[in-house]
């Protein structure tokens, strides 16, 4: 007898699962279908076309926006993962009195609405510029650097949440063995803990990358004159004639992100199998 669900309940759960998956995917499917439709995005369909894809590939400002987001997402995720590893290691492996305070600080970006955080950084940058112009005649201004700074803050808790469980599941005996064999703290981290953490680092990077690539609210306040992809997309959404072209880009972006997620997932499993972390977890 299955202790979790009776046969009837299991059937119900399975049916519900299928319905929910349909609910999640059908709207996305519509986007893809309409991106190949010659007319406006409404029924009946007016015939197959690849025009929208051609138009999007030859639109420099759109490609630029995608490029900007790729840069912002890469840089901010690398920073967030680095800071996240340091923080997770301290929270899991070190003993210190301020631990509760530190952990509530690092997780607090999870509970700030992005609109509030976005305007807060906007005020900070405006204030900093005012001081700098008055004293040195310098201006930092808004732009991609500001977006990166904001995205690191909001990604950081996610990287920590990804890395910490793996670190906790990792028995300290590996590290103790390394130390008994004469390895220093740094050597232990570089040769033992680090490699074992790789799967978590990859997932952490991936999570912050997707978060940053897709983030609109913060970027809308901070990107200044260099719109990231979501900011560009949002501006274009107000122009109905642009819609089909945007659907084409969306379909491509969507496919790429799905492929990336799958690659990362396969990679994570393979490395888990190699290091045997899965069995420790």
Partner 1 sequence: MERQGAEEHGRRRDRWVTAGLLSPPLAWLFVFFVLPVVFIAAYSVGSVHLFPTDGTFSFDDWHRFLTGGSPYMTLFWKSVRMSLTVSFTVVLLAYPIAYFLALCTRKRKYVLLLLIIVPFLTSYLLRVLAWKVILGESGVINSFLAWSGIRQQPIEWLLYSQFAVMLVLAYVWIPFVALPIFVSLDNVDRRLLEAAGDLGAGRWRAFTRVTLPMSAPGVAAAFIFVFIPTIGEFVTPLLVGGPSGYMYGNAVNDLFTRGLDWQSGSVLAMFMLLVIAALMAIFGRFVQVRSVTS
* Interacting positions 31-60 with partner 1 (CB under 8 A): 31, 34, 40-44
Least distance in Å: CB of 50 to partner 1?
19
> Does the footprint of partner 1 cover residue 120 (CB under 8 A)?
yes
Q: In whole angstroms, how close is the CB of 267 to partner 1 at the nearest point?
A: 13
Site size with partner 1, rule: CB under 8 A? 97
The Cα 164–Cα 150 span in angstroms is 22
CB 221 within 8 A of CB 118: yes
Is 91 a binding residue for partner 1 by CB under 8 A? The answer is: yes
The mark string for 11-30 relative to partner 1 (x by CB under 8 A, - otherwise) is --xx-xx--xx-xxx-xx-x
Q: Hey, which residues between 220 and 249 contact partner 1 (CB under 8 A)?
A: 220-221, 230, 233-234, 237, 243, 246-247
Q: Is 48 or 111 the residue whose CB approaches partner 1 more closely?
A: 111
Candidate segments 59-67, 77-85, 135-143, 173-181, binder of partner 1 by CB under 8 A: 77-85
- Rounded to a whole number of angstroms, the minimum distance from the CB of residue 104 to partner 1 is 8
Q: Smallest distance, Å, CB 47 to partner 1?
A: 16
Q: From the list 96, 137, 225, 241, which residue makes contact with partner 1 (rule: CB under 8 A)?
A: 96
CA 188 from chain centre, in angstroms, equals 29
Residues 136-195 that bind partner 1 (CB under 8 A): 149-150, 152-153, 156-157, 161, 164-165, 168, 185
The tokens of 176 are what?
């103790």
Residue 198 C-beta: closest distance to partner 1, Å = 18
CA-to-CA distance for 274 and 10, rounded, in angstroms? 34
258 binds partner 1 (CB under 8 A): yes
| 37 φ, ψ (degrees, to nearest 5) | -90, 135
Do residues 192 and 183 lie in contact, with contact meaning Cβ atoms separated by under 8 Å?
yes
Using the rule CB under 8 A, give the single segment among 55-63, 82-90, 136-144, 191-199 that binds partner 1. Answer: 82-90
200 touching partner 1, by CB under 8 A: no
Distance CA 85, CA 93 (A): 11
Helices (H), 94-189: 99-107, 114-136, 144-169, 172-180, 185-188
- Closer to partner 1 by CB, 6 or 171: give it: 6
Cβ closer to partner 1: 100 or 182? 100
Alpha helices in the chain (DSSP H): 7-35, 51-57, 60-93, 99-107, 114-136, 144-169, 172-180, 185-188, 194-214, 217-222, 229-237, 243-275, 277-280
CA distances, 189 to each of 1, 17, 162, 178 (Å):
46, 42, 18, 9
Of 78 and 119, the one with the shorter C-beta distance to partner 1 is 119
User: N- to C-terminal Cα distance for the chain?
Assistant: 27
């Amino acid at each position: 007898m299955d202790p979790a669900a009776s046969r009837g309940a299991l059937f119900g759960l399975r049916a519900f699962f299928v319905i929910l998956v349909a609910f999640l995917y059908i709207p996305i499917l519509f986007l893809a279908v309409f991106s190949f439709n010659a007319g406006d995005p409404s029924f009946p369909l007016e015939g197959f076309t690849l025009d929208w894809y051609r138009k999007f590939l030859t639109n420099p400002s759109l490609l630029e926006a995608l490029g900007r987001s790729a840069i912002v997402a890469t840089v901010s995720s690398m920073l967030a993962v680095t800071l996240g590893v340091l923080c997770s290691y301290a929270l899991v492996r070190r003993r210190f009195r301020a631990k509760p305070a530190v952990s509530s600080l690092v997780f607090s970006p999870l509970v700030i609405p992005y609109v509030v955080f976005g305007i807060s950084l906007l005020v900070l940058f405006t204030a900093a510029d005012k001081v700098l112009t008055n004293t040195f005649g310098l201006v930092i201004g808004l732009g991609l650097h500001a977006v990166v700074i904001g995205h690191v803050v909001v990604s950081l808790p996610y990287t920590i949440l990804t890395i910490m469980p793996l670190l906790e599941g990792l028995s300290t005996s590996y590290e103790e063995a390394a130390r008994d064999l004469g390895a220093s703290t740094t050597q232990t981290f570089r040769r033992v803990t680090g490699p074992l953490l790789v799967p978590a680092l990859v997932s952490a990077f991936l999570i912050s990358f997707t978060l940053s690539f897709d983030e609109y609210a913060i970027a809308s306040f901070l990107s200044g004159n260099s719109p990231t992809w979501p900011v560009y997309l949002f501006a274009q959404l107000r122009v109905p004639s642009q819609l089909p072209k945007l659907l084409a880009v969306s379909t491509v972006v969507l496919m790429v992100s799905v492929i990336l997620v799958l690659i990362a997932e396969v990679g994570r499993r393979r490395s888990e199998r190699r290091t045997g972390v899965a069995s420790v977890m």
